[in-house]
């Protein structure tokens, strides 16, 4: 189940990136579960990773390798997270990189491994290693959709987006894919995302772009308040578009490229929420007129994480008291309830510390019956504003996670 009609995006190939996919049978038969990205020589790569202290072996190794040299290959497997696996997990992650390095001649440090799936189980190396060879056999610049399929776990549909724009008669492309459906919360979530552009970008500038973009997109999503051990988001710039020179923060090309990467990332992040485990609602929580960014986010996440709010959303029940109560318990010292207004879309439900005098149940019901809803909270304290995206909490969410290892 997912929110809204699925329309598969047109994915433009990125010059300097090829993708190969394999069915290795890591957890399920006849399912794409190994993906290899090949990046051209000279490509620049950066990443942001989970802040979970139990970060998985591939995350640890990817960070170490990325600190030493540029990426030539990203190696992804699904069905097994290789997390909570100690030294053996690190050894297995390294062995997979050594296998890929041996087959391609690449420096082992130029390979970043990524895994997603069940925590606490060892990688089935007898399946993964042959899968790497199989994936290499079908590398192609047009395999973005196949790659998007190959990184899914409990997702019901692929997440993929692509943008193109012209600069001085040169066509520049940004294309990305992601996976994620549950254990979704900021910093980061249970997501893997791989984005590439054919522009040439200084590494420090590319890192700044990814950090800012991830903070405003992937780190503004929440389904269930859980942060995974394996979250990784990678961004590569191949430099194959032949623009005049390397993009710096002062370049005329910086802003249009930033906007394209942001747009792709936002579409991927919102796609994850729309495909949240058991989701029937896509919910935007906007907090405006806050004192600062932190307090706006505290209020937004208190509402977005509330099981009572989320179950009311699933029931399409305009039980606005649950939203009011969540706002009131947000960890913000300076809230003044008489200044706060709360809206469902454009329907004001709370003002001056109580139900709005013009509110009618049928107005709230009309909004709650929609698949996509905005909860807007006006704090009346300042000029700061923040937005997060979430979903409802359904019977299917419980079933999916209760049977996750079945």
pLDDT per residue as tens digits for the range 369-388: 999 999 999 999 999 999 99
pLDDT at 224: 61
Give the pLDDT of residue 169: 83
Per-residue model confidence (pLDDT) at position 67: 95
Euclidean distance between CA atoms 266 and 232, whole angstroms: 16
Mean pLDDT of 194-209: 96
Give this prediction's pTM: 0.91
Backbone conformation region of residue 387, classed left if phi is above 0, alpha if psi is from -120 to 50, else beta: beta
Q: What percent of the chain clears pLDDT 90, i.e. is strictly above it?
A: 77
Q: What sign for the dihedral angle of Cα 113, 117, 122, 127?
A: negative
pLDDT the model gives residue 247: 86
Neighbour-count burial for 128-144, b at 16+ CB within 10 Å, e otherwise: bbebbbebbeebeeebb
The residue among 115 and 273 whose pLDDT is bigger is 115
With 60 as the cut, is the pLDDT of residue 190 above it?
no
Name the residue among 306, 52, 385, 388 with its Cα closest to residue 187: 52
pLDDT at 186: 44
Give me the pLDDT at residue 183, please: 43
Query: What is the rounded average pLDDT of the residues 212-224?
Result: 86
Nearest to 115 by CA among 136, 96, 102: 96
When pLDDT is cut at 50, 70 and 90, the band that residue 319 belongs to is very high
Give the pLDDT of residue 229: 82
- Confidence band, pLDDT 50/70/90 cuts, at residue 244: low
Give the pLDDT mean for 17-27: 97
Look at residue 404 in the predicted model and tell me its pLDDT.
62
CA 90/CA 58 separation, integer angstroms = 7
17-274 sits in which CATH class?
Answer: alpha beta
Asked if the model's pLDDT at residue 127 lies above 90, the reply is: yes
Lowest mean pLDDT across 160-169, 185-194, 329-338: 185-194
Say how far apart CA 267 and CA 260 lie, in whole Å: 11
Q: Looking at the annotation, which residues are catalytic?
A: 190
DSSP, res 339: G
pLDDT tens digit string along 265-312?
999 999 988 887 667 899 999 999 999 999 999 999 999 999 999 999
Per the CB < 8 A criterion, the answer to whether 57 and 85 are in contact is: yes
Which CA distances in Å does 368 have to 93, 198, 240, 315, 316?
A: 46, 43, 48, 9, 5
pLDDT tier at 148, thresholds 50, 70, 90:
very high
343 confidence band (pLDDT: 50, 70, 90): very high
Name which CATH class applies to 282-402. alpha beta
Phi, psi of 370 (to 5 degrees): -80, 155
Residue 399 confidence (pLDDT) above 80: no
Structural domain spans, the chain: 17-274, 282-402
Residue 183 class from Cβ within 10 Å (0-12 exposed, 13-18 middle, 19+ buried)? buried
Summarize the confidence of residues 248-262 as an average pLDDT. Answer: 94
Mean pLDDT in residue range 348-375? 96
Average pLDDT over residues 161-167: 95
**pLDDT at site 182:** 45
Q: How many CB atoms lie within 10 A of CB 333?
A: 7
Q: Are 74 and 36 in contact (CB under 8 A)?
A: yes
In this prediction, residue 340 has a pLDDT band, given cuts at 50, 70 and 90, of: very high
CA distances to 219, 258, 341 from 383, rounded to whole Å, are 21, 24, 15
Give mean pLDDT, residues 86-109: 98
């Amino acid at each position: 189940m997912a929110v809204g009609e699925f329309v598969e995006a047109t994915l433009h190939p990125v010059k300097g990136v090829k993708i190969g996919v394999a069915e290795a049978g890591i957890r399920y038969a006849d399912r794409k579960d190994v993906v290899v990205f090949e990046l051209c020589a000279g490509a620049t790569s950066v990443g942001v990773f989970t802040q979970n202290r139990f970060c998985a072996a591939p995350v640890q190794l990817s960070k170490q390798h990325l600190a030493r040299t540029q990426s030539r290959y990203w190696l992804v497997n699904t069905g097994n997270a290789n997390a909570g696996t100690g030294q053996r997990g690190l050894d297995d992650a390294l062995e997979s990189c050594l296998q890929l390095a041996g087959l391609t001649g690449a420096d082992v440090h130029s390979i970043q491994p990524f895994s997603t799936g069940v925590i606490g189980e060892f990688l089935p190396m007898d399946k993964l290693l042959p899968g790497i060879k199989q994936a290499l056999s079908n590398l192609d610049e047009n395999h973005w959709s196949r790659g998007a399929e190959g990184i899914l776990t409990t997702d019901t549909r692929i997440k993929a987006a692509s943008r193109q724009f012209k600069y001085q008669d040169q066509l520049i492309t940004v294309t990305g894919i992601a996976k994620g459906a549950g254990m979704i919360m900021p910093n980061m979530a249970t997501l893997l995302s791989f984005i590439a552009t054919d522009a040439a970008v200084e590494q420090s500038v590319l890192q700044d772009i990814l950090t800012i973009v991830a903070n405003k997109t992937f780190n503004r999503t929440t389904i269930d308040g859980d942060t995974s051990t394996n979250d990784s988001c990678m961004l590569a710039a191949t430099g194959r578009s032949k623009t005049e020179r390397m993009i710096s923060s002062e370049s005329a090309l910086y802003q249009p490229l930033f906007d394209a990467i942001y747009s792709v990332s936002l579409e991927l992040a919102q796609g994850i929420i729309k495909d949240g485990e058991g989701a029937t609602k896509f919910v935007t929580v906007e907090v405006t007129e806050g004192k600062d960014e932190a307090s706006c986010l505290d209020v937004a996440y208190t509402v977005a994480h509330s099981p009572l709010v989320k179950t009311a959303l699933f029931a399409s029940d305009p039980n606005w008291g649950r939203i009011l109560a969540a706002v009131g318990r947000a960890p913000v010292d300076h809230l003044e309830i008489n200044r706060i207004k709360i809206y469902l879309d454009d329907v004001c439900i709370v003002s001056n510390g109580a139900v709005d005098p013009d509110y009618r149940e049928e107005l709230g019901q009309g909004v709650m019956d929609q698949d996509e809803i905005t909860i807007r909270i006006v704090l009346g304290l300042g000029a700061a504003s923040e937005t997060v995206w979430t979903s409802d909490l359904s019977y299917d969410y419980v079933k999916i996670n209760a049977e996750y290892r079945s």
